[in-house]
Structure formats: structure tokens, C-alpha cells
Amino acid sequence: MANEYSTTNRLETKIQRIISQVILHKIKDKRLQRISVDEIRLSRDLSFAKIFCSTLNTDESFETLEKLLTKASGFFKTEISKSLSIKKVPNLLFIVDNHEEYANKINLLIDKVVEDDKNSK
């Protein structure tokens, strides 16, 4: 328990913050401005970073958003290298998922079942 918050965790947090700020302030594509960065997982050798993102209220498919983010990955890597003093910036792999949208649907279904149960009594 000497080091619960390892170097990898600190680097993941810093990269997440940098990418989130770049999306908010420097990306001009309106389709990407509704994306939130949920989690970053770095490989053990720090050469790859999986970036888990989510979005709500968008007309774009998740595949399209992943392609747009992948296309902008060079820009993200440049911003990361400007902000951090690391030897090699990891390759970025973007994964857009709909876990929040799925959770909202599940909550609506649960609410409906509870309401139906109240009405049947």
C-alpha cells in the first residue's frame, strides 16, 4: 500500500484532463463538443491509451464519432506532448459507448414497471 496512486494513474488523470480541455476549448467540430471523456486506461508500457468516451443527445452514430476522434488523435497527441514532459506520447484509441443512454433506458423501464405495479393494486 505504499503507492496506491501510481504513476500510471496520475498520467491517466492528466491525459483525461488534457483531452477534455482540448475538446471543450480547441476543437471546432460541433459534433465532438458533446463528448465527455469518462476514463483512460494506459497500457503497462505506456505506449497505448484507451480513451472511453460517452455522449448524449447526438445524431451521429458511435462509429462516426470514433472515426472523428481517431482523425483528431494527432492533434490530441500534440496537445498532450505540449502539456506533459514524457518521452513518448501514447497512441490513442477512442471508444465511444452508450452506457449512460443505456442506464437511462433501464431506469425508465424500472419506473414504468413500478408505476404499472402501483396501478394494478
Q: What is the pLDDT of residues 7-19, one digit of tens each?
A: 889 999 999 999 9
Question: What is the phi-psi region of residue 46: left when phi exceeds 0, alpha when psi lies from -120 to 50, beta otherwise?
Answer: left
Q: Give 37's strand partners.
A: 53
- Quote the pLDDT of residue 1: 45
Q: What is the pLDDT of residue 5?
A: 63
Provide mean pLDDT across the span 75-91. Answer: 93
Summarize the confidence of residues 73-83 as an average pLDDT.
94
- Radius of gyration (Cα) for the chain, nearest Å? 18
pTM, rounded to two decimals? 0.76
Q: Quick one: which of 82, 100, 80 has its CA closest to 90?
A: 80
Q: What is the pLDDT of residue 4?
A: 56
pLDDT digits (tens, 9 = 90+) for 62-77: 888 889 999 999 999 9
Q: Cell numbers of 95, please?
A: 471508444
- Over range 88-115, report the average pLDDT: 87
CATH for 7-120 is: 3.30.300.20
Mean of all residue pLDDT scores within the chain: 87
Share of the chain above pLDDT 90, in %: 50
